[in-house]
Structure formats: C-alpha cells, structure tokens
Chain A
C-alpha cells in the first residue's frame, strides 16, 4: 500500500509542479480535462469488471446483500452529514456550485 501511495503522491506532485511552473503547454492543460474524463471512464469500467469477475462478491450479494447495502448507505449518509456540519459551522468554507473544475 505504501508504495502505491508514494507513486500516487509523486505523480500528483510532478503533474502539479509541471503545470504550476508553466512547463505544460496551455493546449495540453485544456485537453487535460477531457483526457481525465476518458481515463476516468476506463477506470470505472475496470472497477466494474473487477466486481463482475469476483465470484466472492457475487455469492455474498445473494446472502447478505441487503444488510451490506443498508450499512453502506447509512455510513456514507452520516459521514457526509458530519462533514456538512463541520464545513458549514467550523471551517466556514462550504464550497458548492462554483464553476466545476475551475482550472
């Protein structure tokens, strides 16, 4: 896991520094959004593929699917609610509805 985290961090920092220092052509920066979207869909497809290929997941869905779905839904709702409260009343920077991907 640690190696992966380091690789992700290095790639993020290299990409960030190159564009921060203006070393990436403006055309590529403009294209970065659509390239990002393309790779995003590829990534989601692969994630779906992995779920479909994993027979353990499919077997588990039949036996405890409903219980797990309720757990998943509740944990993300309460988690998002807590962050909502913290960002609105403590951080006081409740970002919403600004230009999406304002780069």
Chain B
C-alpha cells in the first residue's frame, strides 16, 4: 500500500508543479472537503459495522486518553532534542514539535515571533503529514495500531484517519478521531506557551 500511496502522492505533487497554475489551489479546497466528507462517512460505516469495537474500547476506558497525551509529549520532546543538536533554543524546538502536523495553524501562531521559525514549523509539519501517510501502513504492520495515531498527530481526526482506518481496525479508528481532536485542541494552547517561554 505504501508504494501506491507514494506513487499517488508524487503524481499529485508533479501535477501541481508542472501542469496546474497556483490559482487552482482554491478549487482543491472544495475537492479536499468533499473527498474528506465522503471518506469519513465510509469510515463511520466501517466502524459501526463492528459492534465489538465499542465493547473493547469501553474495557480500556479513560486510559485511552494517554494516547494523545503521550503522542503530544513525544512530539514536543523530539522537537526539543533536535533543537539541542542543531543549536537552536530548546523552546523553539518545543514550539515546532507542538504543531503536531497542523502546518497552517502552527506556522501562523509562530509567525509574530520569527518568520524563519514559522517557515521551519510550516515545512516540518508538511513533511510530518507526508511521512505519516507513508509510514502508517508500515507502522501498523510491524509495530502496532495505536502507534499509527502518533504519526498522524492532529491530522489523525481528518486527513490521515482514512489511512489509519484502512490499515488498522475499528477500535483504532475511534481512538484516532478522539486523539486527533484533542491534539488539535492542544496546538493553539501549547505553541504560544513555548513561544512565551523562549
């Protein structure tokens, strides 16, 4: 699946660079929204047809909230670690890591502080989404299902949710949506917090 995903992704990037004008971007907003809505409806059908999923999730209970919390902590820690290696301020690294893949918002939140850091955050989170799309099938197969949610970060509730659902099971799909939602809520709280700490 990863090879097919990569092929389709790069076909899209190539088409965007060589065959279309930048003005086409506005139309992709509508296409993306329609595509996402249809996908999420089918994801819902998938989840609802597996009645065991909810019983299993109920058994695990509130411990499931540890998934977005640990994914968020790991992401921030990763950002901080890299900042030490490349000679940046540790909290700048934390702010980049706290974007959780939501590139537009994290870049906007950092922009008033530094345009360079804002660009780094923007591109880091774009790459993060691409890496998530590529590595979710591999992570699901060789490491575990819940770990795929960490890869998706804030996008685990929308753009990467269908990939997670496709490669895992109904339980993981439900946890993925909730986790993505919580991580999306964390972004506008944590990014300004790290900026304030610099």
Contacts and interface: CB of A to CB of B under 8 A. Distances in A.
Contact of B158 (A4, A60, A80, A83): A4
9 contacts: A14-B44, A15-B48, A19-B44, A19-B46, A52-B14, A54-B16, A71-B96, A80-B147, A86-B67
Interface of A (DSSP majority class): helix
Given A15-B40, A43-B35, A75 B97 contact: yes
A84 B140 contact: no
A44 B12 contact: yes
A100 B12 CA distance: 27
Interface of B: 4-5, 8-18, 20, 22, 24-25, 28, 31-33, 35-51, 56, 60, 63-64, 66-67, 70-75, 77-79, 81-82, 86, 93, 96-97, 105, 116, 119-120, 122-133, 135, 139-147, 149-151, 153, 157-159, 162-163, 165-172, 177, 181, 184
Interface in A66-103: 67-88, 90-91, 93-103
A8 B40 contact: yes
Contacts of A33: 46
A57 to B, nearest CB: 6
B127 A68 contact: yes
A47 B48 contact: no
B70 A70 contact: no
A18 B38 contact: no
Given A20-B49, A67-B120, A98-B169, A49 B15 contact: yes
A80 B168 contact: no
Contacts of A75: 74-75, 78-79, 82, 96-97, 124, 128
Interface of B (DSSP majority class): helix
A13 B44 contact: yes
A78 B78 contact: yes
